[in-house]
Amino acid sequence: MTIPRATLRLQLHHDFTFDDALAQLDYFAALGVSHLYLSPVTTAQPGSMHGYDTVDYGTVSAELGGEGALRRLAAAVHARGMGLIVDMVPNHMGVGGSHNAWWLDILEWGRHSAFARHFDVDWHSPDPALRGKVLMPFLGAQYGEELAAGRIELKFDAANARFFAQYGPHVCPICPTEYAALLQAANRADLAALAAPFQGLSTQPDDQMRAAAARDALRDFVAREGTDAIDFILESYGTDDPVSRDRLHRLLERQHFRLAWWRTATDEVNWRRFFDVSALAGVRVERHDVFEAVHKLIFRLYAEGVIDGLRIDHVDGLADPREYCERLRQRLASLRAGAPYIVVEKILARGEALRDDWPVQGTTGYDFMNDVGALLHDPAGVVPLAEAWAAISGDDAPFAQVSLDARREILTASLAAELDHAARALHRIAREQPGTRDFTFASVHRTVAQLATHFPVYRIYPSNGLRSAIDNRYFDVALAAARKTLPRANQGALDQVDAWLGAHAPDPATKGNGGNDGKAARAGKHGGQNPPATPLSHALIAQRTALALFSQLTAPLAAKATEDTALYRYGRLLSRNDVGTDPDDFSLDVEAFHAANAQRQRRTPYALLATATHDHKRGEDVRARLAVLSEIASEWSATLRAWSTLNQPQRRPGDNLNEAAQWSPGPAFEAMLYQTLAGCWPPDLDPADEAGVHALAERVAQWQLKALREAKQRTSWIAPDENYESECQAFLFDILSPRRRDGFLHELTTFVARISPAGALNTLLQTVLRLTSPGVPDLYQGTELWDFSLVDPDNRRPVDYALRAAALDDATPAAKLANWRDAQVKQAVIHRLLALRERAPGLLREGEYWPLKVHGALAAHVIAFARRHGDHWAVVVGTRHAAALLDGDVPCVAAQRWDDTAIALPKGCPASALHDWLADVDHTASKDAAQGDQANWLYPRDVLAAMPVAVLANIARK
């Protein structure tokens, strides 16, 4: 297995292609990463800026340069002894538009399409208008309105001899069973002859082959005779005349799709989506044929040595992530010698661990990002910050309550159809047995809704239709909450749904579950018997289906409610509001951080360690600076009040001036805006630089619009209030206008200058911890210098690699500390520690992890640990919570401040010739009789004199 030393994530798109990455390869290699980690390389929707809307799994994106360019990049990467990891999207494809051949085929042939089972389509919808059809919720207004306006048209593709309905960029093929009638409508003998082979066609596979041959003849005719006759047909289905418009409507009604207003998707979509995004359809990768089709290109590239590992996107969207990971590893292992490197994108709740039985190296690093971020926060700030937020927002609810309220809203407003699908799967089980058939759909629906609403993690991972003890640890939380909230009359349904959702195996001898009582089933759930292996009983298949649908409901519900709603409503301190975090877990003490790192070393030593990603809501340096506010909570609260008073004249009044919530942007969003400005203001931006301030305002305005809509309170993506949004934007531009240079802008930049040194210190600590903790450090593109980005697309802006390459040299980070505002000290730290990882690959990646004891006056402001691999040792020392300790402008505590603070080295660790790779000085530990033992001690007054962080190793640099 090729284990990366460090990865560099690159976001590829038409403006940054494989060849663009190749042009920067010398810099990437010089920086010290071992692997490039590429966003998806398969063909996506045209113009895609992220690649997660794959339309063709079988080809490398031409917009990125095609397979030839990918191979050129891979060859150059491998020539430097580096590798390529590729992001893979097995859960969903981009649909709509006109580029997904699989999707177009099911629109054309319906349930008999060769690809009908590639997507999670419910072909047996309870809605008669959708039975055997695919809902196409892409219309901008109601169907009748769009039809009357002439925006839905019948067209003909001469190159492929295909009739299709078109709405904007969306193409819906007409089923060839209609072609005979269409061609005969021209009332021409030549077209009637062409219509004959289409006569009597069905949608069965053999008739699809007949249709293909008939289309060949039609194509030849059009190529020879032109399209005049076809144009006549199209005119007879035009929308200008009521008669022809009705003819088009009746034709569309007979198709295997139903064109619909986009708003219908929430309630009626009959196929699984990615979250609530109707442009992304879930793929049934659990089917063997689909799995092979989805991975065919990736397997070939891996077998041929072009790529060296995979990152699996949104693994929780799959029906059975464990089974998927097992199958993926087996297939990759069969293609090439050595164990494949696989990491999965997985959000872990506090206390939740990646399952041991998943054969992967670990996660993509959100868990580490959460831990290291929490470590930077001072627990003393939690109460005053909470009080300030409650006073501002008028709401003292904890984040858990905000998230719960959001879950209820999302389940109704965005995922109603997905809830219905899960409930119907369970209700079908109920109907199959006399003992349970009187459980109504409504009662099952209420039960599933309450369980999903209170689910404490993204999902569970049952095996063969049974929940494990680990699954029940989380399921029981939801079960207890549902029991409290559901009416007494629903308790029986709750017990039964609990049984069907994996509390026990169904009786394989019966079609259903034999009417087993749910309460009795619970008694043996933790040690239930595994069901028969093969063949699977109908009851077990039904139970596994229901479990998959339930899990594919709880995962997007958690993501949409927490990441995309609640985190935009709750503003106590935004540095704790990011993907994979729980703001109620405000801070993490040193002992807990050590425990998490020790667990990584034991269980997932090759997982990625991230502090910035393409999905983060605030850049790593924004969060690091905002964490300082936890150390000066009272000062920050006073600052918020002062700024709000100062900017009161710029507020936009609403309809009711007596209600504070009516003015724009409103107190809560105003407070979150101030946090954002304080967090992202560049260290080198002069408030007198009008162009620079305006450019920043444009970026913040983009964040603000997304934040307002994601919060779904006064505006939303579904029902935007453009007047409110424009007023919020006007407020932002007013407070940052040049005429506020001596007012708010002065106050803002003065405050930013006050906290920036402590924020820079946090950045250096966070960077060192990412590069020295157990695992594989992941660098997000461009973040080797300052990362003051905001939520996407801001965090995917072009990177100035020329600037970064020019800044890279061999000078010590300590020598660059005085000029920390240019961020070169951060880059130098990364460069030095990647060099150390190259010199001793096992030391910082999987070496033993030793928490170190710290004593003395400022012990609470130090984190220290040792890493050991064979005879190699490294001692990592960092400064934390230092806002009150800094004197002047440099982000480093003066040596004399450390007084008697001391760090005990573990037994066996060398006491001398410990070289600091960040300052190029050697240190020697010493005995200290005052400490009352024989340990060797290091003193922060020595090791942290030149830098706020130190990495000492018994390995010389050269």
Q: Where along the chain do its domains lie? A: 7-91+283-364, 101-263, 372-377+578-753, 397-566, 801-953
State both tokens at 685: 């931006």
Two tokens, residue 809: 């040299």
Residue 91 pLDDT greater than 70, yes or no: yes
DSSP result, 811-844: --HHHHGGGGGGSHHHHHHHHHHHHHHHHSHHHH
More confident residue, 150 or 658: 150
Question: Residue range 374-390: average pLDDT?
Answer: 98
Name the CATH architecture for the domain at 7-91+283-364: Alpha-Beta Barrel (3.20)
pLDDT for residue 539: 86
- Torsions phi, psi of 910, nearest 5? -60, 145
Say whether pLDDT at 905 is over 60: yes
Query: What are the structure tokens assigned to 874, written together?
Result: 């490294």
pTM above 0.85, yes or no: yes
**Would you state the pLDDT for residue 918?**
98
Specify the DSSP class assigned to residue 141. S
Domain range 801-953, CATH class: mainly beta
Q: What is the arithmetic mean of pLDDT over 12-25?
A: 98
CB 717 within 8 A of CB 705: no
Q: What are φ and ψ of residue 176, in 5° steps?
A: -60, -15
| Conformation bin of residue 866: beta by default, left when phi > 0, alpha when psi is -120 to 50 | beta
pLDDT, average across residues 331-350: 96
What pLDDT score was predicted for residue 713? 96
Q: Is the pLDDT of residue 875 over 60?
A: yes
Same CATH topology for 7-91+283-364 and 801-953: the answer is no
For the segment 570-577, the average pLDDT, to the nearest whole number, is 98
What is the reported pLDDT for 927?
83
For residue 513, pLDDT beyond 80:
no
314: Cβ contacts below 8 Å, ≥ 6 apart: 89, 91, 92, 274, 345
Question: Would you say residue 723 has pLDDT above 70?
Answer: yes
Name the band, by pLDDT with cuts 50, 70 and 90, for residue 127.
Answer: very high
Taking 70 as the threshold, does the pLDDT of residue 928 lie above it? yes
Whether the pLDDT of residue 629 is over 50: the answer is yes
Give the angle subtended at the CA of 344 by the CAs of 342 and 347, to the nearest 5°.
Answer: 160
Radius of gyration of the chain (CA): 30
The reported pLDDT for the residue numbered 935 is: 83
Helices (H), 440-508: 441-453, 469-485, 491-498
From residue 673, alpha-carbon distances to 301, 643, 741, 748 in Å are 46, 11, 18, 12
Longest CA–CA span in the chain (Å) reads 109
Say yes or no to pLDDT of 656 above 90.
no
pLDDT of residue 507: 66
pLDDT digits (tens, 9 = 90+) for 600-627: 999 999 999 999 999 999 999 999 999 9
Could you tell me the pLDDT band of residue 525, with boundaries at 50, 70 and 90? Answer: very low
Ranking 219-223, 421-425, 427-431, 505-509 by mean pLDDT, the lowest is 505-509
pLDDT of residue 234: 96
Mean pLDDT of all residues in 758-764: 98
CA distances from 705 to 48, 640, 712, 724, 729 (A): 21, 21, 11, 10, 8
Q: Give the pLDDT confidence score for residue 476 in this predicted structure.
A: 98
pLDDT of residue 506: 79
Percent of the chain with pLDDT over 70: 95
On the question of pLDDT at 700 being above 90, the answer is yes
Q: Helix 321-335 and helix 288-303: axis angle, to 10°? A: 40
Burial annotation 524-553 (CB, 10 A radius, 16+ → b, else e): ebeebeebeeeebbebbebbbbbbbbbbbb
Residue 929 confidence (pLDDT) above 60:
no
> Across the chain, what does the average pLDDT equal?
94
Q: Which of 295-299, 714-718, 934-938 has the lowest mean pLDDT?
A: 934-938
Give yes or no for residue 350 having a pLDDT over 80.
Answer: yes
The pLDDT value recorded for residue 514 is: 39
Compute the average pLDDT of residues 792-806: 97
The answer on pLDDT for 831 being more than 80 is yes
**pLDDT at position 707 over 80:** yes
- With vertex at residue 180, the alpha carbon angle to CA 178 and CA 183, rounded to the nearest 5 degrees, is 105
